[in-house]
Structure 1
C-alpha cells in the first residue's frame, strides 16, 4: 500500500468512535471500555424511545465562539484600561521620568503607551501593557565576599517595576478631570 492510502485509512473513524459521539449527543451513559455491539444497542434503544433531544449543528455552533468573536474578545480584554502607579526599581533608570512601553500579540495588535514613573494620581494603561510591566525584570549586581577574602560581583534578577493597582476613577473624579483638561485646553 502507498503512504497516501494508509493516511486515508487512519483518518476514517471506526464504528465505535462514531457510536460514542452519537451516544454523547443523545445523552446516553456508557463505560469507556464498552463494546461496539452493546453501545449500538444502547443508542438504538434511546432512538426508539423518541426522547432523543434534538441536537442540530446550529445550536452547537452557536454555543462555541467563532474565530472572529474570539479575536474581538481578546482584543477588548487586552485594551481594557487599568489604573496603576509605577515605581521603577531599575537603578540604571533612576533618573528617567517614564518609559514608552510596547506590547502586543497577533490577536490584540500592538499597543504603545508612555508610562510615567511615580505619577501621584496614577496612570491608565491597557491591560496588555500592565501585564508586560508585571513580567519585566532587570539584572542588578552586588558584591559577594568569598571565604578567603576574595570579592566577586554577582548578578541577580529583580522585578523592574513596583506596580500599585489603583481603583478606577469615580464619576466625580472623572468630572473633575474633564474640567481640568477643558480649562487647560487638553480637549
Structure 2
C-alpha cells in the first residue's frame, strides 16, 4: 500500500483536513472587518483633523511607530506606521520583519524591514466584528478578554484612547457607546 504525501511549495506536509466552512454571516463579518482594516490608516489620518482627542493620541505616538491589528484563525491583519507628517500608512505584509517577534521591542537585523511596536490580536472574528461594528466597546472587549496585546503599555494606552475616540465617532448612536442617563435624586 502506498501513501501519498502532499507538500506545499516550501516542501512542508500539508494538512489533509479542510477548514470548516463559514456561514454567510461569518463571510459578511469577515468582509466588513477586512474593509475596516483596509480603511484604518486613512480613517485615522482623516479624523485627526476633526477630533482633538485623536489628534492628541496620534501626536503621542512617535514617527515610525508601527502597530498591527489581527484576528486569530483568519488572514485578517493590518499593519500601520505613523509617518513624519502625522498620517498613517499601511505596511504590506512582505515588508514586516520576520526575524523578531512583533511587539517585542527588538530591532530587526534586516534594515529594510519594518518592526511592529505593538500588536492587538483579536481572539476571534466575532469579537473583532463586535468591536468594529460598535456592538462592543473596547473596555467591554478587554473585560471579556476579546483580544490580547503585546508591546509597551504607554503606547498601548494611547492606541486604546485613539481607537475608542474613533469608534465613538462612528458608533455614538449604538447603545454600547451612549452615556448612561444621570440618576435622578
TM over 0.5: no
Q: Larger % of helix: which?
A: 1
Q: TM-score, normalised by structure 1?
A: 0.20
TM-score normalised by the chain length of structure 2: 0.21
Q: Which structure: greater strand fraction? A: 1
Max Rg structure? 1
